Chains A and B, each alone.
Chain A
Amino acid sequence: MSANQYDAIVIGGGHNGLCAGAYLAKNGANAIVLEKRYKTGGAADTSAPWPEHPDFKVTTYSYVSGLIPPRVVSALQLEKHGYKVYPMGPVYQAWPDGRSMMFQLGNAKAGKDEIAKFSKKDSEAIFEWEEWVGRIADILGPLLLSVPPKVGSKRPGDVIDQAKLLWRLRKEVDVRTTAEITKLMTMSLTDLLDEWFESEELKGVLTVDGVIGTWAGPDEPGTAYVLAHHGITDIGDGLLGNWGFPEGGMGAVADAFRRSAEAFGCRIRTEAPVEKILIENGRVKGVVLAGGEELRAPVVVTACHPQVTFLQQIEREELPDDFVRDIENWKSRSGTVKINLALSELPNFIADPNPRDGSVPEHLTGSVELSLSAKYVEQAFQDAKQGRAATAPFSDGVIPTVVDKTLAPEGVHIFSLFTQWCPQEWSSEPHTGELEAYTDRIIDLYDGLAPGFKASVIARQTLGPHEMEQELGMIGGNIFHGELSADQLFHMRPAPGFADFRSPIKGLYQAHSGTHAGGGVNGIPAYHAVRQITKDRALKR
């Protein structure tokens, strides 16, 4: 076999690309992963962004790990390769009036008294709520490991796939559950939470999971589903680990995938951007790199944004018109801003002063939110929709250094803030000055709840939609490679008829987050793409 001939080429060295490379190599294929940047990992990254503090590391973009199925962790021996996750603590929100709320999502019962401070009724309702969300998540979870059937197709094979899916659901589903799923897929989070709760504070805390990463405020129908997506803890092959902090930041997760891939014999090349996917008679032949170098393989897996692959790397004439239209209309907006702060001390909230002995209080070990109410969050979205960065943004903040000592020297803490929103169209320009002002406002807001916070900031980094698109090829700045709106899920993700991880081109498979189960660092798209390759017997050994 000549040097530039492979069994399989994977485009994109993010976690899905590495995961696909690992599985392919494990199956005996001569596989190579091609990454445009100087390093692999994509949005699962750890870096030292501050030249004057080379010893401070941050988890650059994505910030928590969940949803990697146990079967992937064990098949790829990720733990042996350095995958280690510390479970996250509770969700915590303080208010300017000195009150606060803290409970473990999914186990709010334990925080009953915390909620009762705001509403006795809600502290009772939370029991049923969690049971309700849990029940639905248990039904939806296993769907993440299903290949979406071609809903509507009448070819016998496709009809059988649809019937199989229904058969599997038969025990879980009844009239009420079907209704509840319909509601979740179509309602706004605000309407849903209003049905259950009265306390604006509690609703504010619960809102975060419904709008994370999305270009939609809590008043928009469809946001209830995003909440359920985050409530899933079992996708059918055993209980998932809790959401947690990977030791060494998210870059360590990508590194574990990479080491696993290399251990199975997969080649990995960085600074190897793919310019063109070669196609002959509707069948993939290989790729051309930016320098003109050609690599050949009968199987190509794309793990980059679908608009990059299908609109830039492939000639339009090679693809069906309907498909091109679907990809052109793919919604990939976001308006999220990642902020990484280095702190000289832990934030000390008025509502819950830190213990004198210097130990880490529980409320700083999980999500330290800035989400005062559902209205607060909606207003942040409305600001951005009207073309300006939110005056009072909401933030999902975590301090991984409370458990992970590898990121920064003793005493220094890293506060990782996932915040929303700035206008989605800021992906076309840096807007650096406005983003810095946006970060100032967030720091001020935390400072209002924890005086001294502002003074404790040693260094900061602000990453807006423009950077995410330019650096990572996340078109529109969307961290999921495409919005998680109901019209872009399951059989629609990323295009009807091609939600089965295949594509209109023979030999070309999709393993990016813009496929079903994508969104988040979970590796499922890669797992499915390789399974389809095996099923199609597309690999030469």
Chain B
Amino acid sequence: MPANIYDAIIVGGGHNGLISGAYFARAGAKTVVLERRHKTGGAADTSAPFADHPEINVTTYSYVMSLMPPTIIKELQLEKNGYDVTPFGPYYQAYPDGRSVKVYPDDAKKSYDSIAQFSKKDAETMPKWEEWLAGVADVMGPLLLQVPPKLGSMKVGDLIESAKVGWKMRGLGVRGVADVTRLFTMSVSDLLGDWFESDQVKGMLTVNGVIGTWAGPEEPGTAYVMLHHSIGDVGDGHLGSWGFQQGGMGGVADACRKAAESFGCEIRTNAGVSKILTENGRVKGVVLENGEELRAPTIVSTIHPQIAFLDLIDKEQLPEEFVWDIEHWKTRSGVVKVNVALSELPDFIADPGKEMQDIHTGSVELCFSPEYAERAFLDAKEGRAAERPFVDGTIPTTLDKKLAPEGVHVFSMFTQWVPHSWVKEPHRDELEAYADRIIDIYSELAPNFKGAVIDRQVIGPYDMEQDLGLIGGNIFQGELSVDQLFHMRPSPGYADYRTPLKGLYHGSSATHAGGGVVGIPGWQAFRQAKKDRKVKKSRA
């Protein structure tokens, strides 16, 4: 077989691309993963951004692990290749008045005591809420491993697929269907208002409903985003709890890469694709930015759908409706990642001490109430960065000793919002001022915070689009709004990881189950190719 001819080409070397490549190679296909950047991993990345402190590493973009199915971890032997996730601690929110809320995933008594300071009623409600949410999540979880059926299609095969999904959902009952309807259509604010009375508890629970989305907690649809983050089992065994990868998220990507290489997959960096070649509605190969041509009958795209389908493929090769859908794909965000190196742990007024406590080991939030988060969103909607942003913060160095020298901590802050339109320009100064404000607010809660900052890195929507091809700065390669889920993701009729072109599969986060470092899209793209007998095994 000539050197430039493959069985399968994977476009994009993020975690999904690497996982897809690993599966193809494992099945015996001669496979290459093509990555535009100088390194693989995409948004699952560890880097040393501080020139003065080359010894301090941060988990650059994405920051926690959860939904990767046990099947993928096992089949690709990721643990052997360095996948190592430590479960993280409680949800923690401190208040300037010296109080704090802590919710422990595994200690109901401690959670009760903490919440009861604010509302006894809410403390009693919390276990019922968790049970309710877990109940719905258990039904919805397995759907993540489901290839979305072509809802509405009257072809016999499609009808059978739709009916099968219906059958899987039969456990829901009338109340269950109502719960699911609510979760898909309500705002997280209204939903929490139905259950809880204290702003503190609602504030903390709000975070999971708006993370990564261009929508404040009062927008319908945000309840679903919260559910998505509550799924604990996608149908092939219980997932690990949320946790930190040792060595940062780059460690996850490295494990995927090593696994792929161990199966014989070739991986090329600095290999941006400029065109996907097609002939009579069938893919033939790709052209690289340097003009080099690679050929393969099967291609998996794991990059943003607007790049793959609007930039790399000629419009005429695709159905008009599909092009229209992709052109109108919503991919706004307005999120900002702030990585802060600290000389000591934050010493919270509410829970004093610079020594490590359990409160430092989980989510160290900045979200005082649903209104607080909504205000941040409205600021951004009105065209300015949030005056008081909300933050989902973690300090991985409390549980991960590989990132930084002893004593130094890295505070990884996922923050929202700046205007989504900032994706067009860097807005450096405004972003720095925005980071200043966040540091000031944390300092109100932990006065030593500001003084402990050694250095910091601020990454806005512009950087995410330029560096990672995350169009619009959206970390999910497309908003997780209800009109962009399941049979709609990324386009109706093509939510089954196939595309309008024969031989071209879709394994990006903009497919069903995508959003987060999950790997299901990359795996499903491979499975569909296999079903279509498009996995050649030249090496077998």
Contacts and interface: CB of A to CB of B under 8 A. Distances in A.
Contacts of A179: 151-152, 487-488, 492-493
A221 interface: yes
B182 interface: yes
B219 A220 contact: yes
Interface stretch (B75-83, B171-179, B251-259, B298-306): B171-179
Interface in A449-492: 485-487, 491-492
Interface string A191-217: 100010000000000000000000010
Contacts of A178: 151-152, 487, 492
A179 B172 CA distance: 23
Contacts of B170: 154
A183 interface: yes
Contact of A152 (B150, B174, B481): B174
B220 interface: yes
A228 to B, nearest CB: 14
Q: Which of A174, A331, A485, A491 has the most CB of B within 10 A?
A: A174
Interface in B487-540: 487-488, 492-493
Interface string B144-181: 00000011111000000000000000101111111001
B322 to A, nearest CB: 11
B178 A491 contact: yes
B487 A182 contact: yes
A541 interface: no
Contact of A154 (B150, B151, B173): B173
A222 B154 contact: no
B177 A176 contact: no
A176 B150 CA distance: 10
A516 interface: no
Given A178-B487, A221-B482, A491-B178, A485 B220 contact: yes
Contact of A222 (B174, B175, B220, B330): B220
A151 interface: yes
B185 A222 contact: yes
Contacts of A195: 328
Nearest to A378: B381
A496 interface: yes
Interface string B318-338: 000100000010100000000
A358 B190 CA distance: 52
Given A187-B483, A496-B178, A175 B220 contact: no
Contacts of B482: 182, 186, 221
Interface string A73-97: 0000000000000000000000000
Contact of A492 (B181, B481, B488): B181
Given A154-B170, A178-B487, A382-B378, A492 B178 contact: yes
A491 B177 contact: yes
B152 A177 contact: yes
A487 B215 CA distance: 18
B225 to A, nearest CB: 12
Contacts of B186: 485, 487
Given A183-B488, A222-B220, A174 B177 contact: no
B97 interface: no
A173 B175 contact: no
A373 to B, nearest CB: 15
A7 to B, nearest CB: 31
Nearest to B215: A221
A329 interface: yes
A219 interface: yes
B131 interface: no
A322 B190 CA distance: 17
Contacts of A222: 185, 220-221
Contacts of A537: none
A497 B175 contact: yes
A296 interface: no
B329 to A, nearest CB: 10
Contacts of A496: 174-175, 177-178, 181
Contacts of A492: 178, 181-182
B194 interface: yes
Interface residues of A, number: 38
B219 to A, nearest CB: 6
A356 interface: no
B164 to A, nearest CB: 15
A219 B488 contact: no
A154 B173 CA distance: 7
Nearest to A191: B330
A329 B221 contact: no
Interface string B90-119: 000000000000000000000000000000
Nearest to A172: B152
A535 interface: no
B210 to A, nearest CB: 13
Nearest to B378: A382
A153 interface: yes
Interface in A118-152: 150-152
Contact of B492 (A175, A187, A219, A385): A175
Contacts of B328: 195
B182 to A, nearest CB: 5
Contacts of A152: 172-178
A182 B174 contact: no
Q: Which of A176, A221, A322 has the most CB of B within 10 A?
A: A221
Given A173-B152, A176-B493, A221 B174 contact: no
Nearest to A495: B178
A182 B492 CA distance: 10
A476 to B, nearest CB: 13
Nearest to B193: A329
A153 B151 CA distance: 20
B181 A186 contact: no
Q: Which of A154, A186, A222 has the most CB of B within 10 A?
A: A186
Contacts of A153: 173-174
A182 B177 contact: no
Q: Which of B153, B172, B483 has the most CB of A within 10 A?
A: B483
A452 B371 CA distance: 42
Nearest to A225: B185
A485 B153 CA distance: 27
A153 B492 CA distance: 28
A173 B487 CA distance: 14
B397 to A, nearest CB: 38
Contact of A186 (B151, B190, B221): B221
A485 B488 CA distance: 21
A260 to B, nearest CB: 36
Contact of B185 (A150, A175, A485, A497): A485
Nearest to B224: A186
B181 to A, nearest CB: 6
Nearest to A223: B220
A186 B9 CA distance: 36
Nearest to A158: B174
A176 B492 contact: yes
A176 B492 CA distance: 7
A72 B194 CA distance: 38
Nearest to A224: B483
A338 to B, nearest CB: 25
Nearest to A331: B190
A176 B154 CA distance: 12
Contacts of B176: 152
A189 to B, nearest CB: 12
Interface in B193-232: 194, 215, 218-221
Contacts of A326: 178
B147 to A, nearest CB: 14
Contacts of A322: 175
Contacts of B154: 170, 173-174
6 contacts: A177-B152, A178-B487, A186-B482, A220-B219, A221-B483, A222-B185
Pick the 10 closest A-B CB pairs, nearest first: A178-B152, A152-B177, A179-B492, A496-B178, A486-B185, A186-B482, A487-B185, A186-B483, A221-B220, A329-B194
Given A152-B174, A173-B154, A182-B492, 4 more contacts: A175-B152, A186-B220, A222-B185, A222-B220
